[in-house]
Amino acid sequence: MNLVLISLAVLGITGLVAAVLLYFVAQKFKVEEDPRIDQVQEVLPGANCGGCGFAGCRALAEACVKADSLDGLLCPVGGAPTMQKVGEILGLAAAAAEPKVAVVRCNGTCAARPRTSEYDGVRSCRIMHNLYVGETDCAFGCLGCGDCVEACLFDAIHINPETGLPEVDDEKCTSCGKCVKACPRNIIELRNKGPKNRRMVVECVSKDKGAVARKACTNACIGCGKCQKVCPFDAITVENNLAYIDYTKCRLCRKCEAECPTGAIHAVNFPPRKPAEPKPATAPTATTATPANAQPTTAQPANAQPTTVQPQTAEPKQEEVKA
């Protein structure tokens, strides 16, 4: 019994001494943390999506507190309102940022891009991309396995069963960039939403030459350069047989859309164009044929007095009187 009590006492004293030592060590080497980090983290959405470029919301909060300016720091999920709250906590001005949205740059629908093979394996875009060109002849287009759908944390992107292409819900998209990283063919891009959520996009990423791209997909860009020539704002460039619209220069005039021969350029969220009114047909003027033996008429001056033609009276013939 005494042995048990002695053992318990030794263990208790040892634990107490260790606790005191650990307390003093923790106080000696503790790292002072700015309390504003917790305040900033509370106003962040807590999605931990990594769209800001940091490991999570906590890392973004630490970066904001340590920074002298909020330029270049943005929470894509919370947007400008969240960054304004962060600026109020830190006493910094939040830079105005244009809202962005994920854009799928491929219009290779099932009707425009016929299937030439069938993939029998794990339905993953990354795996299929590493194995071969895909189920169609386009080596640049969407594979349609839905890696972007699985990566989205906000249920903002889905595969359309009719077209086989992913479609983005602009209202749900937070521009976190998860779908951009998940796509192995770099088809999805973050672009400015634009005024009234309108934007011009070349929905093709094929770098094949015109004839090859057109054979694989009827909606493909053939790199003809007509859109580049007609653009008055120098917003379109053509490189590697592919046109690209710089959304920072585009003024949404839609001239490139009308000029594209394959329909690769799309005007998103624009009202339909008004049909062109047909021009009224002008009736041909009737011409009067002049007979060949007609005598030319002499035009009379405006102040000419009318002339009266006196009929000639025949004088009676006098009968000769014969003597």
Q: What is the pLDDT of residues 155-172, one digit of tens each?
A: 999 999 999 999 999 999
- Dist CA 124 CA 149 (whole Å): 11
- Dist CA 283 CA 289 (whole Å): 18
Q: Write the DSSP string, 210-261.
A: HHHHHHH-TT------HHHHH-TT--EEEETTEEEE-TTT-----HHHHH-S
- Amino acid identity, residue 263? G
Averaged in consecutive runs of 10 residues, what is the pLDDT profile of the chain (323 residues)?
82 91 85 86 89 89 90 86 91 84 95 93 94 94 95 94 94 92 95 92 95 95 95 95 95 94 94 72 54 50 49 46 38
pLDDT of residue 270: 92
Alpha carbon 36 to chain centroid, angstroms: 38
- Dist CA 224 CA 163 (whole Å): 26
**C-alpha neighbours within 13 Å on the C-beta side of residue 311:** 3
Residue boundaries of the structural domains of the chain:
35-97, 100-268
CA quadruple 216, 218, 220, 223: dihedral sign: positive
Q: What is the CATH number of domain 35-97?
A: 1.10.15
pLDDT of residue 164: 93
Q: Which of 42, 44, 78 is nearest to 174 (CA)?
A: 78
What is the gyration radius of the CA atoms in the chain, in angstroms?
42
| Number of Cβ within a 10 Å radius of residue 107 | 25
pLDDT tens track for 89-117:
999 888 777 889 999 999 999 999 999 99
Sorted by sequence, the CB contacts under 8 Å of residue 134 that are 6+ apart come out as 117, 119, 128, 141, 143
Q: Counting beta carbons within 10 angstroms of the beta carbon of residue 85, is it exposed (0 to 12), middle (13 to 18) or buried (19 or more)? A: middle
Q: Is the Cβ–Cβ distance between 105 and 204 less than 8 Å?
A: yes
CATH architecture of 100-268: 2-Layer Sandwich (3.30)
- Full-model pTM: 0.71
pLDDT of residue 322: 41
- Dist CA 99 CA 292 (whole Å): 80
